[in-house]
Every structure is written in structure tokens, then in C-alpha cells.
Amino acid sequence: MNSTLHALGVVALTCAALTGCSRKADKAVPSDSTTMARPAVATMPSPGAAIDCGAASGDIEKLVCGDPQLTALDQKLSAIYKEAEARQVSPAPASFTAGQWSWITKRDDCGKSTNQRACVDSAYTLRIAEIQAMNLLVQTRGPITYTCPMPDGSHDEVTAMFAQTDPPSVVLERGDRSIVAYRARSGSGAKYEGANVAFWEKGGAAQVTWFGTALKCHEQAASS
């Protein structure tokens, strides 16, 4: 097997292992007959690229391409991803692209849902809000620090950055970890829920659930 076919084969196997994506790697460009033949360099497609509906594969990609509203969400996500990518250091951190590949896998898992369309719509809506909130692409309030007394007499801290996304969201930071939670229904106060976290705030007091740890916190007075 020549080097060009080998390079393309590696890309195809890598893409399949990551997400089963259908976006195609760039085709090899034939070498000029007057120069020495050189192997083409195949590159991975950006995980933020919109679905190529002319080459869509899999039930979920076909569902998106066959639904104008889902197609619009796919294109909106692609534009927002590029906007956020432009704000990263160059090259973008591996965690930035890995997060998008991970999301694509979760989106495609909607194929197991009893309501695939609703699942995909929610996946796009929350991912758009997450990227906007994490990269300060919308108006935000904060950061606001909440002090959380611990049983041993020490204090923990949770920082919140509220973002005007759709739905409204908050970026919660504790230690070296940041997670986005989304506005949920609440009888009073403001409640947000995300993966393994919950945040409920009213009148400067906050109840936080962080990966199974329950914290009772209060807003830290702003320094003068």
C-alpha cells in the first residue's frame, strides 16, 4: 500500500473511533507530473464543522439534515464554535476540540431515544448555551463568589458566572473544575441544574450539590 492510501486509511479509522463522523477528510491532491511525487497530507475535519448533508450518514445526521429547524441549529452551533475557537490560544487546547467530539458522540446517542428529535434539539440548544457561557460570548454577570463553611471549620468556595444564554445558564467553578448548569423550574429563587451539579440561590444564600457533596453557602461581600 502506498503512503497516500495509508495516510487516508489512518484518518478514516481515527474518525470512526472517535465519533463515527461522516465528514470527509480532504482528498489527496495529485502531484504535478513535472515534479517528484509527494504523499498528500490528510487532515482531520474540524469537529465544529456543520454536517455535510450531501454525505450525511447515520440516523441522527440524516434526521438533522431532513429537518430545517435542526439544520439551522447545526449551522448556528458551527458558527458559535468557530467564534469560540478564535478566542483560544493557537493552536486551540486539546480539551477544546475533545469537548466537541464528546458532544457529537452524545448527540448521536439520541438514536437510542424514544423521541430522537426532541433529544437532538435539546442537545444542540444546551451545547450552544454551554459554549457561549464558557467563552463569554454573551452578556454575563459575575463572577460572584460563595463561601461554604465545612464541618471541620474550614471554608470552601464556589464561584458563579451567570450568562444570558437560551436557556439561562451559570458557569460554576470549584477548585480547578468548571461546569455549566442550566436554569430549571423553581418555586422561588433561581435554580440551575447540570451534569452532577445543582445550584439554588435566593437572597444571597446558595445551596450547592457538587458531585454528591452538599454545600450550604452564602454570597461573599464584594471588596470595596
The pLDDT score that the predictor gives to residue 191 is 96
Q: Are residues 158 and 213 in the same domain?
A: yes
Write down the mean pLDDT value for the chain: 84
> What does the pLDDT average to over 37-54?
72
> What does the pLDDT average to over 152-157?
91
Label residue 43 by pLDDT band (50, 70, 90).
low
Whether omega for the bond prior to residue 151 falls within 30 degrees of 0, making it cis, is no
* DSSP E strands, 150-220: 155-163, 169-174, 177-184, 190-194, 197-202, 205-210, 213-219
Q: Are residues 62 and 119 in the same domain?
A: yes
- What is residue 80's DSSP assignment? H
Q: Are residues 30 and 61 in the same domain?
A: no
Q: Are residues 180 and 203 in the same domain?
A: yes
Domain region containing 153: 140-219
Contact criterion met (CB below 8 Å) for 60 and 110: yes
Main-chain phi, psi angles of 8, to 5 degrees: -65, -35
Q: Looking at the DSSP assignment, which residues form a beta bridge with residue 140?
A: 163
Structural domain total, the chain: 3
pTM score of the predicted model: 0.77
Asked if the structure places residue 50 within a domain, the reply is no
The pLDDT score that the predictor gives to residue 90 is 80
Q: Are residues 145 and 214 in the same domain?
A: yes
